């Protein structure tokens, strides 16, 4: 609450309390019964109140009671009736009551009734004993005092214009006050003829007035809600159009919302009328809608635009204006959208407007848009601090931007940016100007894509010839070396080493596609930890853009890679990148090859040409190495269970025995097979049998220690290599293996159809090498199996296990 509001409220309360105190003390109190009846009528009438739309105020039918009290009661009695009705009206059906509101209402009613009494008594000097005219004058005085005091406090506390508040919300009720005066006159006349008790007949009339008021204001409120709903629908439609831009440019939507807040606030300070403000509000959200006609790879390019790409980009204000012309806005949105890239000095586009020729909304939008864009991260650069962005905009005052707009922004940009951060139709086909040639406009804000002269072209023509021959010989040798390599790591390291000789760089990263992400498979050079830690979603950052669009990037900015500048490595200073896609078969992206250098614009068009010439060979070699590695992995893994196979078992067992020999440790080998598995297969089928084997393999992983080695020898036979396992502990492990076997088949037919025969052998007690150890464990397992066959059927001993040593 402002000090003006506090002062106004204090003055009114002081004057009202003074008037009320003086009159109540002065008296006289004469009409006791009539006073009590009118007091009760005022209390009842206070409940018949209606809420006024858009403001914190009410109206009730106690106006009639107050006017009758002024005409028929003494001043102190009339004040008592009016102030009591004010208290009741303030407290009736209120869940939250503020004392200052109640006191102010009592004070302003006291002043209104006191003024009405003065008008009623002194009007007799002018109008004589003519009661109707005196009561009409009294109602007018009461109207002025009552509505002016209420409108004044609402205007001050809700920061509204006083004149507009009074005229919009109270002036229309003057006729109701006059009507109240007429009714009061009728009541006073009937009281003189029939006695004051006859005024009770007017109570139904008061209730009828209340119902009429209520229905009227309810209808107004419904119409207002409908208008607000349509306005919100209009705004949501505009925002939906803006989301169409967001589908192509993922940095745009939040940018548009911030620009809207800043632009509207600057427009208010510049005194724009309501229509221009609404146009600016819509244009701020829709100014980039013409980018729908610009190819996505240009919009999201994580680097500077080429001249040809910028020519395509320059059409978006024209296309945006043509789209919005079809909307038929009630305010001038189209000129703002068309001209928001014009410059104050006339060097902008598309029309080359100058100075005041540019619409004021477009001038505001141009400065605000540039400020927020500079402070935001973009595909081709990182955002700069807000104060530095403001200084950059300020340097463009008088050349790029309107100086008045820049002055307001410079004074309020921190406040406006803070405010902005707190806020997060079937139409006919339109022929858009997507192929027009825009003459105006020299260069994009980030400048054109720059390249250095080719490294092979320095010096005289003899040097160029020698360099060309050297390049051809190097490419031939590189191709031969790649053809001899099958290991993926060897291939990637060879590619990186050879490329650093052909194209000087500080770092090389080879990203391969894994589950819709680019994963660094091989990184060498500076900032190794930075690039090797990246996980780049397809379509994001520099390398993600290259993979998605299958186009190379020359001298892109590496800092736009996701998580490149994180807390873990904030000091990275690589400034330029050369990245190109690696294609498998010409249509599938295998990965991205990226080369980095600390100097800005370090790579030339010759570098790109060399890389493109080699990319197909590099991709084919990497693809072959990946296939070879997959084949090598499959040779060591059992395809059904995912466990290591027999080949892997022997390799691992030999390594473990060598380790235990060096360290003097024990090693246990447990061999098990599934009793009754053939009968189970015959009964339930091979698919069910395969399912049991998969389930058993999964359960074995759970019952074993995390460093135990589990493999499938073949069929239903499995082997566990358990370092440091004692014979006593082996008994427990074997029992868990048997339980796992039974549980693996328990889900089929509800029976425990399987058990396990288990045999264990230990190094160095039972054997000195891997083959002997396995043979001994296998012999013991079959000995136990034969023992079970001689004693009972498998089904009757399901759940039993043993270790023969």
Bigger pLDDT: 240 vs 662? 662
d(CA 590, CA 511): 9
Mean pLDDT of 650-657: 89
Residue 593 parent element (H or E):
strand 588-597
Nearest to 599 by CA among 708, 543, 526: 526
Q: Among 237-246, 279-288, 538-547, 648-657, name the one with the lowest average pLDDT.
A: 237-246
Q: How buried is 501 (Cβ within 10 angstroms: 0-12 exposed, 13-18 middle, 19+ buried)?
A: exposed
pLDDT tens digits for range 514-565? 888 999 999 988 888 888 888 899 988 899 999 988 889 988 888 888 877 6
pLDDT over 80 (residue 239): no
Antiparallel, parallel or unpaired: β 667-675 and 517-525: unpaired
Mean pLDDT of 22-51: 77
CA 295 to mean position of chain CA atoms: 24
**pLDDT score of 490:** 83
Nearest to 293 by CA among 399, 140, 80, 438: 438
Mean pLDDT of 445-461: 51
pLDDT over 70 (residue 298): yes
Question: C-alpha distances in angstroms, 668 versus 196, 240, 416, 734?
Answer: 115, 68, 73, 12
**pLDDT score of 794:** 42
**pLDDT score of 132:** 80
d(CA 43, CA 91): 11
Three-state secondary-structure class, residue 594: strand
Mean pLDDT of 786-799: 54
Mean pLDDT of 734-740: 86
Largest CA distance in the chain: 136
pLDDT > 70 in the chain, percent: 80
pLDDT tens digits for range 491-519? 888 888 888 888 889 999 999 998 889 99
Residue 86 parent element (H or E):
helix 75-91
Q: Under a CB-based contact definition with an 8 Å cutoff, are residues 723 and 700 in contact?
A: no
Mean pLDDT of 276-294: 84
The CATH label, of 3.30.450.40, 3.40.50.720, 3.10.580.10, 2.30.30.100, for the domain at 455-631 is 3.30.450.40
Q: Under a CB-based contact definition with an 8 Å cutoff, are residues 761 and 767 in contact?
A: yes
pLDDT over 70 (residue 219): yes
pLDDT over 60 (residue 704): yes
Q: How buried is 159 (Cβ within 10 angstroms: 0-12 exposed, 13-18 middle, 19+ buried)?
A: exposed
d(CA 788, CA 183): 114
**pLDDT score of 336:** 94
Q: Among 200-204, 500-504, 622-626, name the one with the lowest average pLDDT.
A: 200-204
pLDDT tens digits for range 754-779? 788 889 999 988 888 888 999 999 99
d(CA 34, CA 73): 8
pLDDT > 90 in the chain, percent: 14
Domains of the chain, by residue range, sit at 3-201, 247-422, 455-631, 646-797
Residues in contact with 706: Cβ distance below 8 Å, sequence separation at least 6, in sequence order: none
Average pLDDT, the chain: 79
d(CA 685, CA 745): 13
pLDDT over 50 (residue 20): yes
pLDDT over 70 (residue 783): yes
CATH of domain 646-797: 3.30.70.270
**pLDDT score of 402:** 92
Cis peptide bond upstream of 28, omega within 30: yes
Residue 717 parent element (H or E):
strand 717-723
pLDDT over 70 (residue 605): yes
Nearest to 740 by CA among 777, 707, 692: 692
Architecture of the domain delimited by 247-422? Orthogonal Bundle (1.10)
**pLDDT score of 67:** 81
**pLDDT score of 429:** 42
Angle between helices 252-269 and 274-286 (to 10 degrees): 160
Q: Among 55-59, 324-328, 768-772, name the one with the lowest average pLDDT.
A: 55-59
**pLDDT score of 364:** 94
**pLDDT score of 718:** 93
Q: Which residue has the tokens 């509204």?
A: 160
Residues pairing with 594 in the sheet? 509, 579
Question: C-alpha distances in angstroms, 52 versus 125, 170, 173, 218?
Answer: 37, 9, 11, 9
Is it true that domain 3-201 has CATH number 1.10.167.10? no
pLDDT over 60 (residue 288): yes
Q: Under a CB-based contact definition with an 8 Å cutoff, are residues 713 and 650 in contact?
A: no
Q: What is the DSSP string of 135-155?
A: HHHHHHHHHHHHHHHHHHHHH
Bigger pLDDT: 654 vs 218? 654
């Amino acid at each position: 609450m402002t000090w003006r509001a506090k002062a106004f409220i204090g003055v009114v309360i002081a004057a009202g309390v003074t008037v009320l105190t003086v009159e109540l003390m002065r008296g006289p109190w004469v009409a006791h019964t009539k006073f009590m009846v009118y007091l009760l009528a005022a209390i009842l009438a206070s409940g018949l109140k209606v809420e006024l739309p858009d403001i914190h105020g009410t109206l009730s039918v106690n106006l009639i009671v107050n006017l009758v009290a002024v005409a028929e009661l003494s001043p102190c009695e009339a004040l008592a009736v009016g102030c009591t009705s004010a208290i009741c009206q303030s407290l009736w059906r209120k869940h939250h009551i503020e004392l200052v509101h109640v006191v102010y209402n009592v004070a302003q009613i006291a002043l209104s009734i006191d003024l009405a009494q003065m008008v009623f008594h002194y009007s007799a000097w002018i109008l004589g004993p003519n009661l109707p005219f005196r009561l009409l004058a009294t109602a007018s005085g009461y109207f002025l005092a009552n509505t002016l005091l209420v409108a004044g406090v609402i205007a001050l506390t809700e920061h509204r214009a006083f004149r507009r508040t009074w005229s919009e919300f109270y002036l229309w009720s003057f006729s109701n006050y006059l009507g109240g005066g007429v009714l009061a006159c009728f009541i006073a006349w009937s009281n003189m003829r029939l006695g004051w008790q006859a005024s009770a007949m007017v109570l139904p009339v008061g209730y009828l007035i209340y119902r009429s008021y209520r229905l009227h204001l309810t209808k107004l409120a419904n119409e207002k809600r409908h208008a607000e709903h349509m306005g919100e629908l209009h705004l949501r439609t505009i925002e939906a159009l803006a989301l169409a831009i967001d589908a192509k440019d993922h940095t745009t939507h939040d940018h548009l919302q911030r620009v809207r807040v800043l632009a509207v606030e600057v427009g208010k300070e510049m005194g724009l009328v309501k229509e221009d403000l609404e146009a600016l509000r819509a244009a701020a959200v829709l100014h980039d809608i013409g980018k729908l006609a610009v190819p996505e790879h240009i919009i999201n390019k994580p680097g500077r635009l080429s001249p040809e790409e910028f020519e395509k980009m320059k059409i978006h204000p024209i296309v945006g204006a043509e789209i919005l012309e079809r909307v038929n806005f009630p305010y001038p949105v189209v000129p703002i959208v068309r001209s928001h890239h014009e410059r104050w000095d006339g060097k902008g586009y598309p029309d080359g407007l100058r100075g005041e020729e540019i619409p004021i909304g477009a001038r505001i939008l141009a400065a605000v848009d540039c400020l927020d864009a500079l402070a935001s991260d973009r595909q081709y650069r990182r955002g700069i601090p807000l104060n530095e962005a403001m200084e950059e905009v300020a340097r463009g005052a008088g050349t790029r931007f309107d100086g008045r707009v820049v002055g307001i922004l410079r004074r309020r940009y921190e406040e406006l940016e803070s405010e902005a951060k707190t806020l997060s139709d079937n139409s006919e086909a339109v022929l858009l100007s997507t192929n027009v040639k825009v003459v105006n406009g020299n260069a994009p804000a980030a400048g054109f894509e720059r390249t250095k002269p080719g490294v092979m072209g320095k010096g005289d023509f003899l040097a160029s010839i020698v360099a060309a021959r050297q390049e051809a010989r190097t490419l031939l040798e590189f191709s031969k070396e790649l053809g001899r390599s099958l290991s993926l790591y060897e291939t990637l390291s060879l590619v990186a080493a050879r490329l650093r000789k052909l194209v000087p760089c500080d770092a090389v990263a080879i990203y391969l596609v894994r589950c819709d992400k680019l994963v660094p498979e091989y990184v060498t050079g500076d900032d190794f930890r930075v690039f090797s830690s990246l996980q780049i979603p397809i379509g994001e950052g520099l390398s993600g853009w290259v993979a998605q669009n299958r186009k190379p990037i020359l001298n892109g900015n590496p800092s736009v890679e996701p998580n490149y500048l994180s807390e873990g490595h904030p000091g990275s200073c690589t400034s330029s990148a050369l990245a190109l896609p690696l294609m498998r078969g010409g249509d599938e992206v295998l990965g991205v090859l990226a080369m980095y250098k600390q100097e800005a614009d370090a790579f030339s068009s010759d570098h790109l040409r060399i890389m493109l010439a080699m990319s197909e060979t590099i991709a084919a070699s990497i693809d072959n190495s990946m296939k070879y590695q997959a084949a090598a992995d499959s040779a060591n893994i059992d395809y059904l269970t995912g466990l290591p196979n027999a080949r892997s078992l022997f390799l691992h067992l030999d390594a473990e025995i060598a380790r235990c020999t060096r360290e003097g440790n024990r090693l246990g080998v447990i061999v098990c097979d599934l009793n009754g598995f053939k009968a189970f297969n015959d009964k339930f089928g091979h698919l069910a049998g395969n399912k049991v084997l998969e389930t058993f393999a999964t359960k074995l992983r759970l019952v074993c220690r995390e460093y135990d080695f589990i493999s499938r020898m073949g069929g239903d036979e499995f082997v566990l290599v358990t370092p440091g396992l004692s014979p006593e502990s082996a008994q427990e492990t074997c029992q868990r293996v048997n339980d796992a076997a039974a549980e693996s088949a328990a889900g089929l037919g509800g029976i425990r159809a399987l058990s396990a025969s288990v045999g264990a052998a230990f190094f160095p007690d039972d054997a000195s090498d891997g083959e002997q150890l396995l043979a001994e464990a296998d012999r013991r397992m079959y000995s136990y199996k034969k023992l079970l066959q001689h004693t009972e059927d498998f089904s009757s001993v399901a759940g039993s296990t043993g270790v023969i040593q």
